[in-house]
Amino acid sequence: IILENDLEQSLDNDQIRLFYQPKIDIRSGEIVGLEALVRWQHPVLGMIPPLEFIPLAEKSGFIIPLEQWVLRTACTQVKTWEREGRQVVPVAVNVSQIHLMKPDIFQSIMSTIHELDFDTQLLELEITESAMMHNEEHVISILNDLRRAGISVSMDDFGTGYSSLSYLQSLPIGCLKIDRSFVRKITTDTDSRAIAEMIISMAKQLGLTIVAEGVETEEQVELLKEIQCYNAQGFYYSKPVSADEITGIYL
Ligand code: G
Ligand code: G
Ligand code: MN
Ligand code: NA
């Protein structure tokens, strides 16, 4: 209960931080995108990872102002990098199921975009496979609105949510992110490798790009190259770091 009250105040108390994890083109080693990930800097408990407070935020509804803040902060950061003359790459923000179901989510995103004069080509939304499976008609209509506005959507944690192939085909998305539970075992478990290969070939058929999540070893990178997955994110390249650290290393 105390934590929940703290959480509601965390934005006003300036305790929420945004970290960024690069997405890398395996072949060139170049950065191709960034994922924005929240952290809660609690005055007593220290840095609280999202897995511990996102579920709480989803239950209370705080996830909506939180993710609106993430969107605004990530876009503002990209504008700052642009102004500083740095290389800019698309930034991805995560959108929870609760936020996705908000009837005015599209208008709300667009109003932030317009206010910041942000280039929609530089924004991606990551939505988990399971979140996309609720209220399919609403999801398809929102994704169509986003696509028309130039905002691409990635299906996050793909392979964990049991979406049907026909639904996948009907969704206007641009990218599948292979869940790290497969990537983790890709070099040691033939089933995980087979699943990853199947996802990759299916994505190709559907014209989707692929990102492997949770890449931690050189062996995984080599195997991903072999099975023609050319985008990766994970500790092998970088853990999520502050905007300043990203600037020093990648941009
Ligand atoms: O940053 P870390 O690897 O600890 O993230 C753990 C989980 O928290 C990931 O599944 C990530 O998608 C999720 N997460 C991080 N930031 C956000 C956010 O802004 N919204 C939602 N819904 N999930 C987030
Ligand atoms: O949105 P998503 O669930 O993909 O969020 C990424 C989460 O995965 C974050 O919590 C991030 O810290 C974590 N993560 C990123 N790269 C790696 C990795 O290589 N290994 C592991 N175990 N976790 C990772
Ligand atoms: Mn994500
Ligand atoms: Na993920």
Task: Give this complex's ipTM.
Answer: 0.93
Nearest CA to ligand 1 atom 21: 94
Contact 49 CB / ligand 1 (< 6 Å): yes
Contact 38 CB / ligand 1 (< 6 Å): yes
Taking CA atoms, 201 is separated from 80, 103, 167, 207, 229, in Å, by 38, 35, 17, 10, 9
Residue 22 alpha carbon to ligand 1 centre in Å: 14
Q: Which contacts of 24-29 are long-range, i.e. CB under 8 A and separated by 24 or more positions?
A: 24/231, 24/232, 24/233, 24/237, 25/230, 25/231, 26/221, 26/224, 26/225, 26/229, 26/230, 26/231, 26/232, 27/225, 27/230
Residue 117 alpha carbon to ligand 2 centre in Å: 30
The minimum-distance atom of ligand 1 relative to the CA of 126 is 12
Angle, vertex CA 159, rays to CA 238 and CA 202, nearest 5: 100
Domains and CATH numbers, the chain: 2-249 (3.20.20.450)
Residue 180 alpha carbon to ligand 4 centre in Å: 7
What single letter denotes the amino acid at residue 242? S
Contact 174 CB / ligand 1 (< 6 Å): no
Alpha carbon distance 162, 174 (integer Å): 19
pLDDT at 1 (0 to 100): 63
Nearest CA to ligand 1 atom 22: 96
Comparing CA positions, the residue from 127, 134, 148 lying closest to residue 67 is 127
Contact 33 CB / ligand 1 (< 6 Å): no
Contact 70 CB / ligand 1 (< 6 Å): yes
Q: Which residues of the chain have pLDDT under 70?
A: 1-2
Residue 68 alpha carbon to ligand 4 centre in Å: 19
Nearest CA to ligand 1 atom 10: 51
How much is the CA Rg of the chain, to the nearest whole Å? 18
Contact 96 CB / ligand 1 (< 6 Å): yes
Whole-model pTM? 0.96
89-133, pLDDT tens digit by residue? 999 999 999 999 999 999 999 999 999 999 999 999 999 999 999
Among 18, 52, 54, 95, which is best to mutate for testing ligand 1, by the most ligand atoms less than 8 A from CB? 54
pLDDT at 172 (0 to 100): 95
Contact 22 CB / ligand 1 (< 6 Å): no
Residue 42 alpha carbon to ligand 3 centre in Å: 23
Residue 160 alpha carbon to ligand 1 centre in Å: 16
